[in-house]
């Protein structure tokens, strides 16, 4: 079993840029339109959430043995996403090819740090899990995302897979907030092949 796990871990790099570029001005305009409140340090705007949180008339899902892959509940687009046609089109592209569950805009305030941590279920090497794709929207030069103590050089509009089961942290030394779009999905053959081909093309 250890041999299989090690082999799976070594199949993919800890960071892989996918062959997509999304329109930053449209994403930024819609993200800014949703920022109704001032915030300190960190703010999350949910675009897809568990169904019972979006529609409170729905019952809470029954207990599950494993919550890692998101199949314990149905997922719905939030009102924030419904107000955002371009962000909806980005997410719909992935929904056509994969099972998308949690989607969020993650805001990090100026001069703030997300301390180093790991997300134990966010990696292709985890047998039953989801993976997270990251699309930077507002990401100035003074913002650095470290994965395994090495900067990930993400530019706005790009789309990245990162193995977030490994240690990572974010430092925003700038005067402006950082905004990322994150899309969690259950990995299938389509996304695995895409990630694998993207890695091969980068070598």
pLDDT digits 0-9 by tens, 122-180? 989 888 889 999 999 999 889 999 999 999 999 999 999 999 999 999 999 999 999 99
Q: Mean pLDDT throughout 98-111?
A: 95
Q: Per-residue confidence at 7, pLDDT binned at 50, 70, 90?
A: very low
The mean pLDDT value of the chain amounts to: 90
pTM of the model: 0.90
Phi (first) and psi of residue 127, to 5 degrees: -60, -50
Which has the closest alpha carbon to 134: 167, 176, 164? Answer: 164
Reported as type and span, the H/E element at residue 31 is helix 24-33
Percentage of residues in the chain with pLDDT exceeding 90? 75
pLDDT given at position 1: 38
In a 13 Å sphere around the CA of 174, the CA atoms on its Cβ side amount to 15
Q: Per-residue confidence at 70, pLDDT binned at 50, 70, 90?
A: confident
pLDDT given at position 5: 34
Q: Mean pLDDT throughout 185-203?
A: 91
Compare 39 and 34 and report the one with higher pLDDT. Answer: 34
Q: Mean pLDDT throughout 57-76?
A: 85
Which 3 state secondary structure label does DSSP give 19? strand
pLDDT given at position 66: 76
Q: Given a cut of 90, is residue 35 above it in pLDDT?
A: no
Which 3 state secondary structure label does DSSP give 173? coil
Which has the closest alpha carbon to 181: 9, 26, 11? Answer: 26
């Amino acid at each position: 079993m250890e041999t299989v796990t090690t082999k799976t871990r070594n199949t993919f790099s800890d960071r892989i840029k996918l062959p997509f570029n999304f329109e930053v001005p449209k994403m930024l305009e819609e993200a800014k339109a949703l920022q109704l409140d001032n915030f300190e340090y960190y703010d999350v705007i949910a675009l897809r959430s568990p169904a019972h949180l979006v529609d409170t008339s729905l019952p809470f899902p029954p207990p599950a043995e494993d919550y890692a892959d998101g199949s314990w509940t149905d997922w719905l687009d939030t009102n924030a996403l419904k107000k955002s046609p371009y962000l909806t089109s980005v997410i719909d592209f992935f929904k056509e090819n994969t099972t998308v569950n949690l989607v969020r805009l993650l805001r990090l305030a100026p001069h703030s740090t997300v301390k180093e941590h790991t997300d134990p279920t966010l990696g292709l090497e985890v047998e039953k899990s989801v993976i997270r794709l990251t699309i930077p929207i507002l990401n100035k030069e003074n913002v650095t995302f470290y994965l395994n103590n090495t900067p990930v050089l993400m530019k706005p509009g790009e789309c990245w897979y990162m193995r977030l089961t490994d240690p990572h942290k974010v430092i925003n030394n700038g005067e402006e907030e950082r905004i990322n779009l994150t899309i969690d999905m259950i990995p299938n053959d389509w996304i695995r092949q895409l990630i694998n081909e993207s890695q091969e093309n980068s070598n």
